[in-house]
A and B are shown apart, each in its own frame.
Chain A
Amino acid sequence: MRISTAGLHNLALQGITDRDADLAKTQSQIATGKRIQSPADDPAAATQAVQLDRSLSESQQFGRNADVATNNLSLEEQALADSNDLLTSIRDLAVQANSGALDPGSRQAIATQLQAQLQQLVDLANRKNGNNEYLFSGFATAAQPFIQSAAGVSYVGDQNVRQLQTSQTQHVSVSDSGYSVFVNIDSGNGTFVTAANPANTGSGTIDAGSVTDPTAWVPGTYRLQFTSGTAYQVLDSTNAVVSSGTYTPGNSISFRGIAVNVGGQPATGDEFTVSPSSSQDVFTTVKQLIATVGSSTVTDAQRAQYSTRIAASLQQLDTSLDHVNAVRSSVGARLSTLDQTQSTRQDNEVTLQTSLSGLRDLDIAKAVTQLNLQQVGLQAAQASYARIAQLSLFNYLG
């Protein structure tokens, strides 16, 4: 084909400028270390990279959330450990108070100690976290949850728990409400509560009882009434006789799938009640214990009452301890979940970073090789152009 002289120059020049552009692009990639400089360079990879960026940022945020959760749960765990210690020492005092050999002065001393420990327990339940929020107040974190009055300690917080998001699918409760830790504790043995009628004149005592056949239990209030020193009957709320029998001290009395132990010698007309378990807060439990310890034990009947009540308090303190420790172990479980999630998250972040780097970052060695190749190409184009441009028939005329 005929080639025009101007066309020859233009073509050569075009080739050189194209190579210049390629070289500039490779150079800019090397300078920034990025293979993708704008979405048009590789739309699919660029879009994927943006999504991975988002996942990475999200994962890092979940990490920060988990740190906040861990911090809050550690504070709660500490408060619960302290509660456990306090309740244990209260229980020790209750055991001491249960000894029949105590004189009234010693019991008064125990009552004073118990009063101080009740105060500590209330202070503990009103503990705050680093952000000046009450730990155990539910959502109402700005208001003090446990208020003391002459009538006792009342809970004014709510029953809710704040949750934080620690992964796309995982929400972790960062505390427990005062209601679920200190208030909503089963009373009695969890199914029913026993009590002695304060008007009893005999020395009969009743224990907390137990459930022998859960299917036979019909919730309701029952009266265990002694018709004589050796005979009893059980009446339900409509005064119908549910069960009756002969009383032998130390033998258990069973009806409707439950069994209670009555000891001592009840007098005719003495009554014990069995009512469905509901809940009793830990402060009421301690307050009742204090009241019991301070009560007088002059008559046999009073001693029997004292004994029954102390036994009930001990039972209630055990339940409270179990309850607090159950909450504590759930806090521990949450902390360990957070630990596991953290290691999963860190692995995931490494994977994300690797993928991102693969998508977006430049393979420097490859790029430098390419740069060299392009440089050689450009030099060759320039050299050949310089040679060819000199060729002309006119050089030989003259």
Chain B
Amino acid sequence: MADLLSTAVSGLQAFQRALDTTSQNIANVATEGYSRQRTEITTRPPQPFGNGWVGSGAQVDTITRLYDNLLAAQVQSTNSSFGSADTLATQAARVNNIFADTNTGLSASLQNFTNALQDVANNPSSIPSRQALLSQAQVLNDRFKSYDTQLQQIGSDVEAQIGSEATQINTLGSSIAQLNKQIAAGFAQTGQPPNDLLDQRDKLLDQLSQHIDISLSRQGDGQVNVFVGSGQALVLAGTAAQVTTIADPYNVARHNIGLKSGSATVDITANTTGGTLGGLLDFRGKLLDSARDTLGQLSAGLVEAVNTQHQAGMDLNGALGGALFSIGGVQVQASSSNAGSGAAAVTRTSAGALTGENYILRKTATGWDLRNADTGVAVTLAGAGTVASPFTADGLSIVVSGTASTGDNFLILPTRAAVAGLSVAISDPTKVAAAAPIRTAANPANTGSATISQGSVLDATNPALRSPVTIQFLTASTYSINGAGSFAYTAGGPITANGWQVQIDGTPAVGDQFTVSDNSGGAGDNRNALALASALSQPVLNGGTTSVNDAASQFYGSIGIQTQQAQATRDAQKVVNQDAVSARDSVSGVNLDEEAANMLRYQQAYQAAAQVIRVASTLFDTLISVASRA
């Protein structure tokens, strides 16, 4: 009888524990990171009797947490991929939105500037149309600067976010280390896993994986070690290292990621991938920097094309044109670890030869070495690096000075700061060089039928450019220039002198004269304005293959493509992440219908066990009454 009672009581206890667990599951149906638990009930050891082994009831072995490490690892890994793709897509969309308005966009501003030049060509002596041109130049300048400023703003937002990411990663790291300790203590205390602490810790791991890509190693006592970057430990059992932002060696305002363990800090920027932090680094390195560089390259092309032509013209006061735009120079950043006192001065020599890439200039034991900052591919340096013979490479001219130590590095950003220094250089409308500085004429007394072209300027810096020149035909096939020489005449062939070029065509007679002279008073001349108007359609960029107009629309398209790609990746990663979460939840998540069924099952079992106790009690009463009668 005692056995019957004790067996029934063991059942009651086991089912009560099972109901407790069901209740816990139901209570935590909406708790994030909660893994459903199961009461593991087994039979108690049987008692031997002569006629066999008699069971002695049930017992609760443990309460298991239903959690699959593999599925959880998949969730963490897809969290990182999605986190990085989502951040990239969000940030790319910010850049994309800057360029979204096509009515005020770069292409429209460039075209408005060209249209204003055409208006000056229509009426070159009109001050209002020249003023309108300067206004459009200012609008174009403001457009470039507004884009650059907004990109810079996004850049400083990104730097601030990188700092806040580091802080969040550290908070999560130390919480995980703290929980590791409690879990180890819990294990030691009971020998059983502290399920709810494990859930809390694993939830933090999920959160951490949203910020940075992590890999784990689990210890037997439930503790977990967390590694980031290329295997640097962020959490080792109960201790956490610190993720810090360290200044980029070339630019103190730029944050790199360091991992501080003890007193040593390792730079893990290059190996930091995944998660929000990885996404931010990706965005900064691939999209933001290159957008600013391309914008700078575009402005360098614009300014070179416009200024070169403008300087070959003559303004309303009769002076040669000056620069229409000013532009920022090449940014050179010396590494903070440089030991020597060397410096590098870099200037752009040709916008067409610029590649849009950045470079690292390095002092070697034997000289200097230039490499692509992203790919590390060596770039050939011509010249000696001196003022008289500067290094030249990819449209840059580099002069080194001071005493650099071997291993000293300089980061060269050819166009990053170009837009920041952009401005309209003239404010006086009469200084718009709409005219050409020379004009040609045929002597009215000429008896031949030859005609002379209007002429074009090849080299506006030639001091004799505007000096009067007479081309006189000595015979029908030879001519002299200012009475000197005898040159063979080819009809329609170019005649070049003093930095200009003209063509004489037709049949000249002996003694016929043509003159090239200063175009003073040429207020109605619009040749240079027309040439300026076509400057933006001339292929000047990318080795003379792309016009400024084309480059502007290509830039607009490339921003769109990069954003679209980032969004597509984000959408794909989102699905992958959701699938991983569903797979994990199918094991770990609470299902209320299941819990209801379990509750019914355990309730019935509990009632049955209670009924057994009543039977035991009845049996015992029967026995007592029989004994008392006897």
Contact A159 B440 (CB under 8 A): yes
A281 to B445 Cα, complex, angstroms: 11
> Which of B96, B522, B563, B600: most chain A Cβ within 10 A?
B522
A-B contacts at CB below 8 angstroms, number: 210
Contact A68 B521 (CB under 8 A): no
Q: Which of B329-337, B491-499, B524-532 lies at the interface with chain A?
A: B524-532
Contact B593 A64 (CB under 8 A): no
Closest CB in chain B relative to A134 CB, distance in Å: 8
User: Given the known A-B contacts A6-B589, A278-B447, are A158 and B441 also in contact in the complex, defined by CB atoms under 8 Å?
Assistant: yes
Contact A163 B115 (CB under 8 A): no
Contact A39 B99 (CB under 8 A): yes
User: Given the known A-B contacts A47-B560, A160-B454, A279-B445, are A393 and B596 also in contact in the complex, defined by CB atoms under 8 Å?
Assistant: yes
Q: Which B residues are in CB contact (< 8 Å) with A46?
A: 102, 556-557, 560
Contact A139 B582 (CB under 8 A): no
Residue B464 at the chain A interface, CB threshold 8 Å: no
Q: Which of A86-94, A140-148, A251-259, A295-303 lies at the interface with chain B?
A: A140-148
Quick one: CB contact mask for A33-72 with B, threshold 8 Å, 1 for yes?
Answer: 0000111111110110111011001100110110010000
Residue B178 at the chain A interface, CB threshold 8 Å: no
Contact B554 A47 (CB under 8 A): yes
Quick one: CB contact mask for A138-170 with B, threshold 8 Å, 1 for yes?
Answer: 111111000000000000001110111100000
Residue A294 at the chain B interface, CB threshold 8 Å: no
Residue A333 at the chain B interface, CB threshold 8 Å: no
Residue A105 at the chain B interface, CB threshold 8 Å: no
Number of chain B residues close to chain A: CB under 8 A: 77
Contact A43 B440 (CB under 8 A): no
Query: Which residues of B (411-469) have their CB < 8 Å from a CB of A?
Result: 435, 439-442, 444-447, 454
Closest CB in chain A relative to B591 CB, distance in Å: 5
A165 to B121 Cα, complex, angstroms: 9
Closest CB in chain A relative to B587 CB, distance in Å: 7
Contact A140 B590 (CB under 8 A): no
Interface of B is mostly: helix
Residue A2 at the chain B interface, CB threshold 8 Å: yes
Q: Which B residues are in CB contact (< 8 Å) with A101?
A: none
Q: Which of B104-112, B158-166, B341-349, B402-410 lies at the interface with chain A?
A: B104-112
Query: Which residues of B (488-540) have their CB < 8 Å from a CB of A?
Result: 509, 519, 521-527, 530, 533-534
User: Given the known A-B contacts A39-B563, A64-B122, are A4 and B111 also in contact in the complex, defined by CB atoms under 8 Å?
Assistant: no
Q: Which A residues are in CB contact (< 8 Å) with B545?
A: none
Nearest CB in chain A to that of B554: its residue: A47
Query: Which residues of B (3-61) have their CB < 8 Å from a CB of A?
Result: 29-30, 36
Listed in ascending order, the chain B residues whose CB lies under 8 Å from chain A are: 29-30, 36, 92-93, 96-97, 99-100, 102, 105, 107-108, 110-112, 114-115, 118-119, 121-126, 435, 439-442, 444-447, 454, 509, 519, 521-527, 530, 533-534, 549, 553-554, 556-561, 563-564, 567, 578, 581-582, 585-594, 596-597, 599-600
A141 to B435 Cα, complex, angstroms: 12
Closest CB in chain A relative to B588 CB, distance in Å: 7
Contact A6 B30 (CB under 8 A): yes
Contact B114 A58 (CB under 8 A): yes
A139 to B438 Cα, complex, angstroms: 11
- Known: A5-B590, A5-B593, A276-B509; 10 extra A-B contacts, CB below 8 A, are A5-B589, A6-B30, A40-B561, A57-B111, A58-B111, A140-B523, A143-B521, A159-B439, A392-B592, A394-B592
Q: Which A residues are in CB contact (< 8 Å) with B96?
A: 38-40
Closest CB in chain A relative to B346 CB, distance in Å: 32
A sample of 10 inter-chain contacts (CB < 8 A) reads A5-B589, A6-B29, A38-B560, A41-B564, A43-B560, A54-B107, A138-B522, A159-B442, A162-B124, A219-B447
Contact A37 B107 (CB under 8 A): no
Contact A164 B122 (CB under 8 A): yes
Contact B561 A43 (CB under 8 A): yes
Residue A277 at the chain B interface, CB threshold 8 Å: yes
Contact A2 B111 (CB under 8 A): no
Quick one: CB contact mask for A12-46 with B, threshold 8 Å, 1 for yes?
Answer: 00100000000000000000000001111111101
Contact B591 A160 (CB under 8 A): no
Residue A386 at the chain B interface, CB threshold 8 Å: no
